[in-house]
Amino acid sequence: MNFAFNRQALFTFFQLRFFRYLDKKHRSRSLHRLNHKNLFIFPTRKGWLFVAVNLVLWLLGTNYQNNLVLALAFFMAALFVTCILQTYANLSRIQIRCSGASECFAGSSVDFLFSFSTSRIAAENIDLRFKGAEEKYAGLNLDGDEEVQIKIPMPTQRRGWLKADRLLIESEYPLGLLRCWTWLRFDTEALIFPEPFSCLEPKAVNIQEEGENERPIKGGEDYSGLHQYHSGDSLKHVAWKVYARGGGMHTKEFSQSVSREIWLDLQQVQGADLEQKISGLCYWALEYERREENYGLNLPGTHIPPSRGEGHRFQVLSALACFGLEK
């Protein structure tokens, strides 16, 4: 048998137990209030050192029969107890509301948006981070009469809906002797877009089919010239300005775009597997958006007609993010 304990494994084991216990106690919500039910407190390493110094002074006082040194030792002990209360008080009565998440592509950090407020006069030096996150929001200060909006980053790996992880809220204020902390679960989810992955432009250009030319197309393409109006031409393409000048009915001719639409199609993109293909589509969606070209999305089960702009982009990216995943 292997008796050599792996410290990390042991830690993980207890943390798992601890979180299981927490989940039984607290449900996840969008609004949390910190109080004695969800705050934990324990001395820090610095705190133990302080206790050791305290003991040394007590020994000094006892051995020299010096009441004042003893008094100093007792003061330190009392200070420690006061710190328990103050450290707790600093975090208690804080309200935390999760109000959403920022836009994010898989692989980078998503910022969850929180608003903090306290019903005390102030709360000092609070550190915030998600479980498993290396980056943290350090040194948050609150004042009693204001609500503070902050973003806390959480790392992401894959696309799709991502639930906010446990949020660690901790503080060692005022003297660093004790650490008061809590793990909160919020029922907020962030939609993580696929990671853009540059690949060959998909054969996404579909020749416009007969009968589809009446579908309105927003925006304009390269204008190439005019030709005489024939019955059956779309009224939309009539050069009304020319007509108004008395130049007769003409139809504007567009060299390529009028007959061609960009479709992002899963079948047409290159990639080793589904994820890579979706990443490729994501890349090109962003690319077309940048080039200010209209594009549509064609996924099995999802059909988004070509267009562009903020709303369209979001629709396309969301569809890509969720494709093939169970909600």
Name the residues that contact other proteins, by CB under 8 A: 35-36, 46, 49-50, 53-54, 56-57, 59-79, 81-83, 85-86, 119, 124-125, 135-141, 148-153, 172-176
Closest to other proteins by CB, 69 or 199? 69
Smallest gap from residue 93 Cβ to other proteins (A): 9
Structure tokens at 15: 């943390």
Query: CA distances (Å), 173 to each of 89, 158, 159, 180, 289, in order?
Result: 10, 37, 38, 9, 48
Instruction: Between 128 and 266, name the residue whose CB sits nearer to other proteins.
Output: 128
Q: How far is the CB of 24 from other proteins (least distance, A)?
A: 22
86/302 with CB nearer other proteins: 86
Q: Residue 81 CB, nearest distance to other proteins (Å)?
A: 6
Report the alpha-carbon distance of residue 108 to residue 131 in Å, rounded. Answer: 16
CB atoms near residue 247 (< 10 Å): 11
For residues 116 and 183, which CB has a smaller minimum distance to other proteins in the complex?
116
Residues whose CB is less than 8 angstroms from the CB of residue 115 and which lie 6 or more positions away in sequence, other chains included: 96, 97, 99, 147, 148, 149, 150
Q: What is the closest distance, in whole angstroms, from the C-beta atom of residue 178 to other proteins in the complex?
A: 11
| Minimum distance, C-beta of residue 177 to other proteins, in the bound complex (Å) | 9
| Residue 28, Cβ density class (10 Å: 0-12 exposed, 13-18 middle, ≥19 buried) | middle
Comparing CB distances to other proteins, the nearer of 171 and 188 is 171
Closest distance of CB 73 from other proteins, Å: 8
Query: What secondary structure, in 3-state letters, does 66-105 show?
Result: CHHHHHHHHHHHHHHHHHHHHHHHHHCCEEEEEEEECCEE
Nearer to other proteins, 178 or 239 (CB): 178
Q: Which is nearer to other proteins, 103 or 187 (CB)?
A: 103
Closer to other proteins by Cβ: residue 35 or 224 = 35
* Furthest-apart CA atoms within the chain: distance in Å: 115
Distance of alpha carbon 172 from alpha carbon 102, whole angstroms: 29
CA atoms within 13 A on the CB side of 102: 17
Q: Could you tell me the smallest distance in angstroms from the CB atom of residue 15 to other proteins?
A: 22
Smallest separation (angstroms) from other proteins to the CB of 25: 17
